[in-house]
Amino acid sequence: MKDFISFMEKAWWRYITEGILEEGIREEIKESWKLCREYGVDPFGGVGEILDEKSMKVRLKENEELISVAHPIMEDIYRQVTGSGFLLVLVDKDGYLIDRIGDENIMGETRKLNFVEGALWTEEAVGTNAIALALRLDRPIQLVGAEHYCITHHMATCSAAPIHDEKGNVIGCLDMTGLKEEAHPHNLGVVLAGAYAIEKQLALMRSHKLIDATFDSIHEGMLILDHNFVVQRVNEIALRILNIAPKEIIGRHIQSFVDFDIIKEVLNQSEPYYDVEGAFYSKGRKIPCRINAVPVMANRKTIGTVITFREERYVRNVVNKLAGFRAYYTFEDIVTQDDKMKKVIETAKKAAKSDCSILIEGESGTGKELFAQAIHNYSKRAKGPFVAVNCASIPRELVESELFGYEKGAFTGANKKGKPGKFELADNGTIFLDEIGELPYEVQSKLLRVLDNHRIVRVGGTEEKKLNVRVIAATNRNLSEEVEKKNFRNDLYYRINVIKINIPPLRERKGDIELLAKVFVDRLNKYNNEQKVLSESFIKRLKDYHWPGNVRELQNVINRAYYLAEGEIITEDYFPENIERKNCEEDINVTAVLPFDVIEEKNIKEALRLAKGDVVKAAKMLNLSRATIYRKIKKYKVNLKELSSLVETK
């Protein structure tokens, strides 16, 4: 080593004085010396500048994680070399010293060279040194004596190794500096092992942070139990749902918080349970949830259990969105220029701001569901579900279970897990009971009870569930007459008839016929990218007709004429043959008019045929909601598969 030190001192002097590089100098040292000369580094200097206090604080903050991981490792290494005169230094990716450990006398001596926190140790700043080369070359390196470019560093030996992140990027450097007489190859091995340990610890820390972040970012409550079912870990969502602090649940048996039978079944069968209806108990509060329980296995033994859960109301909201339980229409979708209709809309808007039950009366096709959806979207419940129920389409024996749900095993053929009813699905939103006059008399009393106390009991169950549901009912019957006939309960009638909205038939607002017809054509043009218009003769035929099927019938007639018309003008030739023009005299009866149901069925089938069986497209053509067209498909027993195959053969 002495011979090497002597050789390098002579070689360095010759390069500094004559610019000649001797054979035997390492290539990386030659390259670095040349760079230092280009940079104009003073070979007789080598004392770099130090960052100001403010800039140093910023740099320490940027490297907070690196320092926190590296410092304990540096302390471990230093314990092995204490008393040998070495100093351990941590440098960031730019070459700034951010941490150091060493003997007091060594620390004092190095301050003379500004080898302290905040100093920059690049080649351009202080000449050739191990730190700069390790960062630039991205490999470990050891320098001894005169291999340093600046004479002030010739007394030292430096061993440095780069530190990488998980992607292989250089994020810093670990350096070990001492007197050149103490130089030994194992110094570099010690530094390399230290840098490797820092990298592994960083990767482990980030892995833990990733796991922690994942654990806390899961949109479900999560509990991790040991083999004795004691809670070992809990995420933020679980704490929020249960409204407790970590110390109130960690270390406690899960039986204190949930129905333990579910967990025991998982243990006994060593198989996971998914989407089980259950409840958590916290601070005297029962929290209905959907629970998943998964055993953790090792050597064919259960060593723990992972429980995830969501509040039932949250699950219902998700299901409602997926099932399309939402209102699509607003008051802006109700097209009118009729003063009477405008007053009805104003009344509906005022009603929407309250939580009162609403009864919408009107003939078939006047747009009762359109009004119900608009009221929902105008109310404070707009973000909640909108669940529409056609009371006439539910089999009599299933009405109660459809409305109020049922528990598992409630009756033969029931879902094994039970099923929530439409009222539960509408929690925090609106339930629209269309054709409420068709509701069986025996169910009416149960509905009245729900409206009175806002609680339901599932079929086959005993537990009451409190709900927050706004009821909008609709009928094309005269309910007061039905009450007199004993077909409808008097008390229920007054309970739902807090605010009544009566939609006038289309024949009483003649001015809307042409307006609505043109709106329907415009929508079809936009959908089909065409420019069709109605002829004056066609419009006259529309105005002369009395529209027993109201707006729905008008729309169906427009749809039919639109798709049959070959040119851009929709003439009276495309007015349905089954509809005769009504005489101008109001007292003359209309003849040869097909029942509205027949017209509606034909239009629905035609729209589905044109849409090639796509229900959503057909619904847009007919300006119907998805829920409504599915009800019509069911009502008219439309075979979609048969319809699709018919389209394909054509």
The closest of 441, 373, 443 to 404, measured between CA atoms, is 443
Residue 229, pLDDT score = 86
Give the pLDDT band (50/70/90) at residue 504.
very high
The closest of 459, 450, 502, 467 to 385, measured between CA atoms, is 467
Give the mean model confidence (pLDDT) for residues 485-511: 93
Span of 215-229, 406-420, 473-487, 531-545 with lowest mean pLDDT: 406-420
User: Residue 459 has what DSSP assignment?
Assistant: B
Which range, 84-88, 190-194, 299-303, 411-415, has the best average confidence (pLDDT)?
A: 190-194
Give the pLDDT band (50/70/90) at residue 584.
very low
User: Coil, strand, or helix at residue 575?
Assistant: coil
Tally of residues, the chain: 650
Phi, psi of 27 (to 5 degrees): -60, -40
Superfamily of domain 324-504: P-loop containing nucleotide triphosphate hydrolases (3.40.50.300)
Span of 140-154, 285-299, 389-403, 493-507 with lowest mean pLDDT: 285-299
Burial 183-195, CB ≥16 within 10 A → b, else e: beeebbebbbebb
Q: E strand or H helix at 79, and its extent?
A: helix 64-81
User: Coil, strand, or helix at residue 382?
Assistant: coil
Q: Give the tokens for residue 166.
A: 């998980």
Domain ranges of the chain: 2-210, 218-318, 324-504, 507-649
pLDDT digits (tens, 9 = 90+) for 69-106: 999 999 999 888 777 778 999 999 999 999 999 876 66
Give the pLDDT band (50/70/90) at residue 278.
confident
Q: How many CB atoms lie within 10 A of CB 216?
A: 14
Specify whether the CB–CB gap between 132 and 175 falls below 8 A: no
Please report, as a single letter, which amino acid is at residue 328.
Y
Q: Structurally, what CATH architecture does the domain formed by 218-318 represent? A: 2-Layer Sandwich (3.30)
Which range, 227-236, 403-412, 609-618, has the best average confidence (pLDDT)?
A: 227-236
pLDDT digits (tens, 9 = 90+) for 389-402: 999 888 888 899 99
Burial 464-485, CB ≥16 within 10 A → b, else e: ebebebbbbbbbbeebeebbee
On the question of a common fold for 218-318 and 507-649, the answer reads no
pLDDT digits (tens, 9 = 90+) for 223-274: 988 888 899 989 888 998 898 999 999 999 988 888 666 666 655 666 777 7
Multiple choice CATH, 507-649, 1.10.10.10, 1.10.357.10, 3.40.50.720, 1.10.8.60? 1.10.8.60
Phi, psi of 426 (to 5 degrees): -90, 5
Residue 128 has pLDDT above 90, yes or no: yes
Share of the chain above pLDDT 70, in %: 89
Angle between helices 615-622 and 596-610 (to 10 degrees): 130
Q: How far are the Cα atoms of 228, 332, 386, 533 from residue 376, in angstroms, in the given order? A: 49, 13, 7, 34
Give the mean model confidence (pLDDT) for residues 584-593: 41
Environment class of residue 143 by beta-carbon count within 10 Å: exposed (0-12), middle (13-18) or buried (19+)?
Answer: buried
Residue 316 has pLDDT above 70, yes or no: no
Q: Give the tokens for residue 498.
A: 């807090």
Environment class of residue 149 by beta-carbon count within 10 Å: exposed (0-12), middle (13-18) or buried (19+)?
Answer: buried
pTM of the model: 0.53
Phi, psi of 538 (to 5 degrees): -65, -45
Contacts of 597 (CB under 8 A, 6+ apart): none
Cα–Cα dist 611/603, whole Å: 12
In sequence order, the β-bridge partners of residue 15 are: none
Q: Give the tokens for residue 159.
A: 């061993």
Average pLDDT, the chain: 86
For domain 2-210, is the CATH number 3.30.450.40? yes
553 torsion bin: left (phi>0), alpha (psi -120 to 50), beta (else): alpha
